[in-house]
Amino acid sequence: MPILTPSDDNPERDKRLAQHILREFRQEVSDSFAELHERLDLTRDEFRNIHQLLGGAIDTAAQLPVEKSHYTPAEAAELLGRRPYTVREWCRFQRIHAAKRPTGRGDSCEWEISHEEIERIKSHGLLPPPERY
User: What's the CA gap between 58 and 85, in Å, rounded?
Assistant: 34
Mean pLDDT over the full length of the chain: 86
pTM to 2 decimal places: 0.51
Q: What are phi and psi of 115, to 5 degrees?
A: -60, -40
pLDDT at 50: 87
Helices 73-80 and 84-92 pack at an angle, to 10 degrees, of 110
Consecutive H or E run containing 27: helix 11-63
Give 6's pLDDT tier (boundaries 50, 70, 90): low
Domain 70-124 of CATH type 3.40.50: no
